[in-house]
Amino acid sequence: MNVFQYLGWIVAIALYATGFSEYACQLLGQSAQGMLGKLISLAIILLVVIVNILGSDKVAKAQTMIITIELIILFGFLALGVTHLHLAATSFKVTANPLVGVCSAAAILYVTYEGFGVVTNAAGNMKDPVHELPRAMYWSLGIVMGIYLLVSTVVVLTLGVSGAIQNQGHVLATAGKLLGGHLGMIAISIAALVATASAVNSTMFGDENLGLRIAKTDEIPTSFGLMTAIGGTWGLFVTALLAAIFVIIFPLAAVGQMASLTFLLVYAMVSVGHLRVRQQTGAKLGMLIGAISFNLILFLLLFIQNIIAGHVLTWSSVLGLLVLSFILEWAWRKHTGQVTTWLGQN
């Protein structure tokens, strides 16, 4: 599943790069559906690769400043938005299966929370990770959930549900234009561009490190971690190349659902793995079983909906990635003479 998780993060990189192009095209007054959108997505991936080669440490130090700028713009958007809310613009009606609709939305939006797994990587730098790590997770989740709810409420009560659907991909920029005119659209678009570019960079950095770790455990070729002649590891270039392929092949909606499907399955399996070490971590059995069940239910719901909707490329690609990840690891273990029994026990 480590290889599958690595491929899942590549899908997430493609998602953020495609989102970047959506907002860039909105600023340029162009459609992101054509060649221009693809080229912009590829350009941000290339830029992130160059940055990681020349000075990724400097970019990491700038993350706090970037987040501060984003929050200032978002809170300005919220402050302006609460003065322009129109409850009448939103129609509330109970559908035949409201619970299914809520769960479907949760499954689709799941990918937006995949970055919280990165928080655990900071455990080694904490003085008291047993107490500090849970606090970091709960606080980060709480803050982001609060911002998500506030921003989405302002957007829906400003544009209405139909308006949000019509402007999907750059809905925040459209809401910003409605609230603050052309200047508001530019401000929100800049915040979105910075956020998505930062997401591409952090996800690529994290995925490269994941690749390096599984290369050290001999699940993939160890050459993945070797430096190239121009700087950067081979893993960095492989990750960027695969992300570029996904950008070219898939539209924003498809790659978003692919990423959610991937991480629903990945984190279900993470919790399954946690069952084997829960005596060491002190995790509660009920919480783990609940996490496994919830993730798998959402995965099956979203997967079935994609089949019913005829999104063959989406659901078949997720299955293909899952099968490919096992084939790649099995082939490498076979090539290196490792044990190839289930779970890859050495």
Spell out the alpha helix ranges (H) of 167-284: 171-216, 234-249, 252-275, 278-281
Could you list the residue range(s) of the whole structural domain that residue 132 is in? 2-89+104-334
Determine what percent of the chain is predicted with pLDDT higher than 70.
86
Q: Is the pLDDT of residue 315 over 60?
A: yes
pLDDT at residue 145 in the model: 86
Residue given tokens 């005119």 in the structure block: 181
In a domain, 94, yes or no: no
Q: Confirm whether 99 is domain-assigned.
A: no
Longest distance between any two alpha carbons in the chain, whole Å: 67
3-class secondary-structure state, position 233: strand
* Residue 237 in domain: yes
Q: Is residue 188 part of a domain?
A: yes
Q: Are 163 and 177 in contact (CB under 8 A)?
A: no
Instruction: Give the CATH number for residue 183.
Output: 1.20.1740.10
Q: How far apart are CA 234 and CA 69, in angstroms?
A: 33
Domain-embedded: residue 111: yes
Rounded-to-integer distance, Cα 81 and Cα 224, Å: 48
Q: What confidence tens digit (pLDDT) does each residue in 196-241 have?
A: 888 888 788 777 777 777 777 777 777 777 777 776 677 788 889 9
Residues 236-275 pLDDT 10s: 888 899 999 988 888 777 788 888 888 889 889 888 988 9
Taking the CA atoms of residue 247, residue 251, residue 255 and residue 257 in that order, the dihedral angle to the nearest 10 degrees is: 180
| The pLDDT value given to residue 344 | 46
Average pLDDT over residues 163-191: 80
pLDDT of amino acid 69: 82
* Domain presence at residue 340: no
Q: Which residues pair with 233 in a beta bridge?
A: 227
Rounded to a whole number of angstroms, the distance between the first and last alpha carbons of the chain is: 16
Between these two residues, 161 and 11, which has the higher pLDDT value? 11
Looking at the 3D structure of the chain, how many domains does it have? 1
Residue with tokens 């709960």: 138
- In this structure, of 53-57, 144-148, 153-157, the range with the lowest mean pLDDT score is 53-57
Distance CA 106, CA 99 (A): 11
Regarding pTM above 0.85, the answer is no
